[in-house]
Amino acid sequence: MKIAVFSSKPYDREYLGQYDDSGFAMTFFEARLDTSTAAMAQGFEVVCCFVNDDLNSATIKCLQKNGVKLIALRCAGFNNVDLAAAQQAGIKVCRVPAYSPHSVAEHALALLLSLNRNIHRAFNRVRENDYSLNGLLGFDLYKKTIGVIGTGKIGSVFVRIMRGLGCEVIACDPQPDEALKSLGIPYVGLTEIWRQADIISLHCPLQQDTFHMINEQAIASMKPGVTLINTSRGALIDTQAVIRGLKSARIGYLGLDVYEEEAGLFFEDQSNLLLQDDVFARLLTFPNVLITGHQGFFTKEALTGIAKTTLANIRAFAAKEYAAMELVTKS
């Protein structure tokens, strides 16, 4: 089985190689998979892709022409795949729905703790021999109301973490988690999340109905000084609207591990290049904004889980044991 691994980094080579006990012929490409690079998949039966690979209909047609039979996503989200085009092309799509939900949930907590106590700003001050506290005033998380949007595997872990810190947690999800309900977590609509929450954390997939769910209207309904955390998908947030919310102080703090235009930006060392994204550059000017480059998943445990599940999916495909795969189908 010949596998083309796109958007690969040294850690992908290490972990996929470490857990490949089937002797797959893996070729690692640093390039993102899109229409301009799809020809590189010529002669491969499987393409292994990541979050910012662009598997639109044109890319999938190229993959079909090149003989690709499986798209093996080494991530949970699949919003970057045209599932209808894949189905029409006869290409199966699989993913890694759960690798380490704790990794992303804990990263959301890290962003929140750094923001509410201005750790990122204090770190820079101390390095400059500045030990003043002016401008570093924080707030207790204890008893604050946390609105969690999406209580799947990651969101449910985040709920439990925040409960452990003594926060009041409310949740929103079209499919409530019965275990959380049994713990007394109330499920409410988005309107109530906007109205009640001091802190809002996003843990939902990017779909048609969640695109730009954090928009001008939603922000106007939120508490003044609200904290927003997004470790899910960048396009859940209308970045321009959030910038206006920051300028008006309606949004008090913003923590992002994702960005709606991150493709071609995140996961790369661009320190010697000029930043061309004016919107992202504007975000970086706010002292109450903390951004990390999509590293929420980046733990030893998560990389192990991703590698094992990805390889298990490919093994099952090779054996035509499709029921054993984490398949993604067009709903």
Examine residue 36 and state whether it is found in any structural domain, yes or no. yes
Between 71 and 331, residue with greater pLDDT: 71
| Displacement of CA 135 from its chain's centroid (Å) | 30
Question: Is 67 in contact with 38 (CB distance < 8 Å)?
Answer: no
| 135 & 279 share domain | yes
- Going by pLDDT thresholds of 50, 70 and 90, the confidence category of residue 313 is very high
pLDDT tens column, 10-51 = 999 999 999 998 889 999 999 999 999 999 999 999 999 999
| 122 & 17 share domain | no
Tokens for 129, please give them. 């021999």
Which active-site residues does the annotation give? 233, 262, 294
End-to-end, the C-alpha distance of the chain in Å comes to 29
| 154 & 259 share domain | yes
Number of domains the chain contains: 2
d(C-alpha 97, C-alpha 90), whole Å: 22
pLDDT tens column, 48-64 = 999 999 999 999 999 99
| 168 & 79 share domain | no
Count CA within 13 A, CB hemisphere, residue 211. 4
d(C-alpha 205, C-alpha 193), whole Å: 17
| 146 & 25 share domain | no
Angstrom CA distances, 326 to 5, 68, 72, 229, 263, stand at 18, 18, 10, 28, 25
Q: Domain of 83?
A: 2-99+300-324
Angstrom CA distances, 212 to 3, 205, 280, stand at 35, 12, 16
> What was the pLDDT predicted at 27?
97
| 137 & 46 share domain | no
**Tokens 């030990």 — which residue?**
131
pLDDT tens column, 67-125 = 999 999 999 989 999 999 999 999 999 999 988 899 999 999 999 999 999 999 999 99
Examine residue 331 and state whether it is found in any structural domain, yes or no. no
Is 70 exceeded by the pLDDT of residue 331? no
Domain CATH number, residue 253: 3.40.50.720
**Edge-first strand listing for the sheet containing 199-202:** 168-172, 145-149, 199-202, 226-230, 251-256, 289-291
Residue type, 230: N
> What was the pLDDT predicted at 99?
85
d(C-alpha 330, C-alpha 222), whole Å: 34
Examine residue 163 and state whether it is found in any structural domain, yes or no. yes
| 138 & 280 share domain | yes
| 83 & 227 share domain | no
Examine residue 169 and state whether it is found in any structural domain, yes or no. yes
| 95 & 124 share domain | no
Output the average pLDDT for the chain: 96
pLDDT tens column, 191-249 = 999 999 999 999 999 999 999 999 999 999 999 999 999 999 999 999 999 999 999 99
| 274 & 311 share domain | no
CB-CB neighbours of 90 under 10 Å = 9
pLDDT tens column, 162-195 = 999 999 999 999 999 999 999 999 999 999 999 9
